[in-house]
Amino acid sequence: MTDAKPTLWQRYLSANPVTISFLAILLGFVVGALVIIFSSADVMHAWTQIFNSPGGIFHALKVSLDNVGAAYRAMFTGSVVDPTIFWHALTTGQGWNAALTPLSETLTYAAPLAIISIGVAISFETGLFNIGANGQAILGGIAGTAFGSMINLPMYIHLPLTLLCGVAAGAFFGLIPGVLKALTGAHEVIVTLMLNYVVAFFLLYSLLSTPLQLPGQANDLSRVILPSAQLPTFFSTATTLRVNWGILIAIAVVAFGWWFLNRSTMGFDFRVTGANPNAARASGINPKKVIIYVFLISGGLAGLAGVVQVDGTTHALDGGFLIGSAGIGFTAITVSLLGRNKPINVFWGAILFSALGVGGRIMQAETGIPLDLATIIQSAVVLFVATPVLVQEIFRLREGNLHTIQLNTKGWGT
């Protein structure tokens, strides 16, 4: 036990949470590259020809790398920045709009994702699984849209009340599984999962019936949120830069989440309960109260995410709101896992996943590779994060403090 103190470099190469996360992301992209290679007809054709001509193998490799390179280049330029456009803007002062649009889009979509992920992370940290964040977000979006579009108030009161409506609706919808679990022991995973369906159909119903449906419309479209309730953008509406106050709200929520879990007395109760429910009870913590508060907070944040989503981007709901290929509430589960329930990490995770989604759309447009590749990368990243030992073996890392990165995946209560 007289090992020399590890150098900084050795510390980087040991299995610590930061290194594991970065390598997991890297591996996620490697998996994505393999999927691109194996699913592209061009590439597969090139590989069948490697014995037909001298140097065929190099041609096949080149085709593979070209395809992967084109896809990932499109993803990067679509979600972060296109260096040529940026350089052009920098030298000529023209075209800033186009240069900043990718980043603006990424931040726009990251805002609700970060907010909802903090809520999910708080529930996970308490050992409770809020799988119903998606439904809570949709209900928050519906409530916010209704209040924002049908009531007329000055902005300084209309906007906050609109957001509050979203929070209240999400919290109310979180309260249902919370109360059921606290009083009857109903398992929260089942209840929240099922309530997602309830709210998805409630959305369709409300978009096709009188108060919320856009008047004179037959399609599933809602009224438009009034300008007095819309989240202000940072740039003029003449630009395509949609980034808005939502990202500020997200930063505030991340700060709240950090304070709540690390500094607040209630957050302490939550963490104690999540780590050891028996000791929590013996120390005088009321588990029923904890369950109900967890779902109130987690649901409230999901509702806020829903209203920020609609209020910051489209300003109206349609039948596909937050449902998509994987609803925002489900992406939030993977983001919390990636960030290991630490609010600051969760924030960066939300930015990354948002960038993958935004860039994936550009990639689909430019290269024809389906957007689902982004989901594959996201899923692979989370799988690698969840199996740190595998990452450690692949990269032959030194033994590190792996025990600190075990994911909290056990529930409690009956």
Partner 1 sequence: MLFMRLELKGITKRFGSFTANDAIDLVVEPGEIHCLLGENGAGKSTLMNVLFGLYSADGGEILVNGEPVHFATSGDAVRKGIGMVHQHFMLVPVFTVAENVMLGFEPTKSFNRIDYETASAKIRKFSEEFGLEVNPDAVVEDLPVGIQQRVEILKALSQEAELLILDEPTAVLTPQEIESLIKIMKGLAASGKSILFISHKLKEVRAVADKITVIRLGKVVGTGLPTDSEEELASKMVGRSVNLQVEKGPHNPGAPVLEVKDLVVRDERGVAVVNNISFTVNRGEVLAVAGVQGNGQSELVEAIAGLRGVESGSISINGIRVDNATPRECLDAGLAHIPEDRQRDGLVLSLSVADNLVLNTPRAPQFAGRGSRKLAAVKENADKLVKDFDIRTESVNAPVGSLSGGNQQKVIVARELSRNVDVLIAAQPTRGLDVGSIEYVHKQFIRERDNNKAVLLVSSELDEVFALADRIAVMFQGTITGIVSPQSTRESIGLLMAGITEQSND
Q: Tell me, what DSSP letter sits at residue 235?
A: S
| Binding residues for partner 1 restricted to 277-316, rule: CB under 8 A | 278-286
CB of 14 to partner 1, least distance (A): 15
Instruction: State which residue, 47 or 412, has the beta carbon closest to partner 1.
Output: 412
Instruction: State which residue, 215 or 399, has the beta carbon closest to partner 1.
Output: 399
Is 101 in a helix, a strand, or coil?
helix
Q: Alpha-carbon torsion 183, 184, 188, 193, what sign?
A: negative
Q: Look at residues 257, 277, 275, 284 and name the one whose alpha carbon lies nearest to residue 342.
A: 257
Backbone angles phi, psi at 234, to 5 degrees: -80, -25
C-alpha distances (whole Å) from 351 to each of 102, 191, 259, 307, 358 are 12, 29, 20, 19, 10
How many residues touch partner 1 under the rule CB under 8 A: the total is 21
CB of 271 to partner 1, least distance (A): 7
Side chain identity at 414, as an amino acid letter?
Answer: T
| 276 near partner 1 (CB under 8 A) | yes
CB of 305 to partner 1, least distance (A): 23
Select from 19-27, 132-140, 266-274, 310-318 the region that touches partner 1 (CB under 8 A). Answer: 266-274
List the one residue from 266, 390, 402, 405 that touches partner 1 (CB under 8 A). Answer: 266
| 223 near partner 1 (CB under 8 A) | no
| 320 near partner 1 (CB under 8 A) | no
C-alpha distances (whole Å) from 160 to each of 148, 228, 308 are 10, 10, 11
Cα 43 from chain centre: 32
| 259 near partner 1 (CB under 8 A) | yes
List the one residue from 91, 152, 184, 265 that touches partner 1 (CB under 8 A). Answer: 265
Q: Look at residues 262, 220, 280, 252 and name the one whose alpha carbon lies nearest to residue 347.
A: 252
List the one residue from 13, 208, 221, 275 that touches partner 1 (CB under 8 A). Answer: 275
- Residues at the contact surface with partner 1, assessed by CB under 8 A: 1, 259, 263-266, 268-269, 271-272, 275-276, 278-286
